[in-house]
Amino acid sequence: MEFTAQIIAEYLGGKVEGDPNVKVHTVSKIEEGFPGSLAFLANPKYIPYIYTTKASIVLINEDFIPDQPVEATLIRVKNSYEAFASLLNLYAQSKKQKIGIEQPCFIHSSAQIGKDPYIGAFSYIAEDVTIGNNVKIYPQVYIGTKVTIGDNTVIYPGVVIYEECVIGANCIIHSGTIIGADGFGFASGEDTNYKKIPQIGNVILDDYVEIGANATVDRATMGSTILKKGVKIDDHVHIAHNVEVGENTVMAAQCGIAGSTKIGKNCMFGGQVGVSPHVKIADGVKAGAQAGISGDIRKPGVIVLGSPANEIGKQRRSMAVYKNLPELMNKVNELEKELEELWSKIKE
């Protein structure tokens, strides 16, 4: 399908600068743009490419002012990144949607399936499962006993959802993810053998939660492990038992959140952030990549870096000192030698 710049601008509520009739049929990165494609400029690092890109249309922010001629037709919008994302979403929705129940698969007679489902081959749906409308379950998915899945949720191949877990509406769970495996609970006895503590809780994902590939969300020892509305989890993230993650919090790949931690809403964690058990983190906290959070963060909106994690200003000052440690060590050695020589002279 082709769209003109004018049609795109009207859909986005933007303003065209250039040829309103130029057409595009696909999208591209601005640095790899080619005729017939649409790109966007959001990150200032990519500004030089707007003058060289071959893309036919480029989305830009309203306040961007080029200092050289631009060949591409421009569409000014409030937020070019969000506008581009909305176009990608529209494109994805235009694709043919899967529907129907493929064979072979197993669906227990007690399971309740909503309207217009897609259930891929070799999937297993256990007894007393409840599945909403327009749910898509791709091949080789396991849905355990008494699981509930809300409307419009998509579950990609190879996902395992253990018994009694609750998945909200409009969720996306990517391949290889496991929801509801046992939390890591063991008691050390007098004989030093570890005795397993039964994990009798469940996992609850609220609406609009998305979980990346090969992530794990463990069931609670008692009660529930909860990911609240709008939480986004990247690939290879581990959420332990009885953790609660607040609304619209996002975590990049390889984060590990230990048991019974409570994370506020609108937090952002970079890759490989680790959080100790029973920690409480306030709303809006941002943790840089590989931050190690071992204690409560009570102040909302702070940025922390490092391991152990520290507020960004203190951590940057510490990092500046770390860089100079070799020189500081040499200076200390020199001063020690001078001090020894001075004491020798005094003793004489």
Which residues form the catalytic set?
241
CA 317/CA 313 separation, integer angstroms: 6
End-to-end Cα, the chain, rounded Å: 95
Q: Is 93 exposed, middle or buried (0-12, 13-18, 19+ CB in 10 A)?
A: exposed
CA 183/CA 322 separation, integer angstroms: 38
Closest among 60, 145, 136 to 97, alpha carbons compared: 136
CA 266/CA 279 separation, integer angstroms: 17
**Sign of the C-alpha dihedral, residues 45, 210, 267, 320?**
negative
| Buried/exposed code over 141-163 (b: 16+ C-beta within 10 A; e: otherwise) | bbbbebbbbbbbbbbbbbbbbbb
What radius of gyration do the chain's Cα atoms show? 27
CA 264/CA 250 separation, integer angstroms: 11
